[in-house]
Amino acid sequence: MTALLPSPTVLETTVAGLAIRAERKGDGPIVVVLHHSFGSPGWLPFYDDLAADFTVIVPHLPGFGLSDRPDWARHPRDLALLLRHWLRKQTDDAVTLVGCGFGGWLAAEMATMAPDAIGRLVLVGAAGLVPATGRILDQMGIRGKESLFPSDLSAGEKQRVALARAMARHPRILIADEPTGNLDPVAATQIFGLLREINARGALVLVATHAEDWVRRHPGRVIRLERGILRSDAPEGDPSATAEVLPR
């Protein structure tokens, strides 16, 4: 005969003037479970299994179920910040944090803002995570091309593959040598657009090109070389700036 554990205890903790309610059960190291975006499904048999060896705490996320809604919150990180302060009031020890769906997104945010508070992080179908490879393929427009040989790709697709390979390791500096060479205007526009996006995400992008029209369409710092001699160095927004001619 299986012994039944007592019903969970309902807790209420005030954080930033908001009431965050949770259910707690069991004894041992603490496991905190963050629920899906559809709300807390109530106390599950899964929680009882964990409570046999752990102290299980299942909060109602801010704005869900029995917890107050923070009207000022605009991003999941705002909710994660509230939960971080809530967790600090539960224990000073590092906990095992389990995030399911939307709760996984919040759990990942909490782990980045307070890694010392999280002993183990378990994500179950977490929302908001960026896949290691698929996102780059989607951004470069080559999803579905993974199994093709180079001879099966167009010139523009080959350029995108080269960019994808370069971006796979999230470099801080990207050097592109004639990235639009042998491309039609449509493909060249797409490649320059991708380079601008990469730059906007924080990477330094250095492009070597003879395409004067693309330089004018995509403003930035422009350094002009002629036969190995520096002819001008124009900061972004100042095309009139020139540099002293320097010998090789």
pLDDT at 133: 57
pLDDT at 239: 47
Could you give the CA distance from residue 216 to residue 49 in angstroms, rounded to a whole number? 64
Could you give the CA distance from residue 127 to residue 35 in angstroms, rounded to a whole number? 12
The model carries a pTM of: 0.54
pLDDT at 139: 64
Could you give the CA distance from residue 209 to residue 198 in angstroms, rounded to a whole number? 17
Could you give the CA distance from residue 109 to residue 122 in angstroms, rounded to a whole number? 13
Nearest C-alpha neighbor of 93 from the set 116, 121, 61, 122? 116
pLDDT tens for each residue of the chain, 248 residues long: 445 557 899 999 999 999 999 999 999 999 999 998 878 888 999 899 999 999 999 999 999 889 999 989 888 889 999 999 999 999 999 999 999 988 998 999 999 988 889 999 999 878 766 665 566 676 667 778 878 888 888 877 887 788 778 777 778 898 988 887 777 777 777 777 778 777 777 788 888 888 777 777 766 788 888 888 888 887 764 545 444 444 44
pLDDT at 222: 86
Instruction: Give kind and range of the element (H or E) at residue 56.
Output: strand 55-59
pLDDT at 126: 81
CB < 8 Å & 24+ apart, contacts of 116-122: 117/84, 117/87, 117/88, 118/94, 119/93, 119/94, 119/95, 120/96, 121/96, 121/97, 122/96, 122/97, 122/98
pLDDT at 51: 94
pLDDT at 236: 61
Nearest C-alpha neighbor of 87 from the set 127, 119, 48? 119
pLDDT at 188: 78
> Do residues 223 and 232 lie in contact, with contact meaning Cβ atoms separated by under 8 Å?
yes
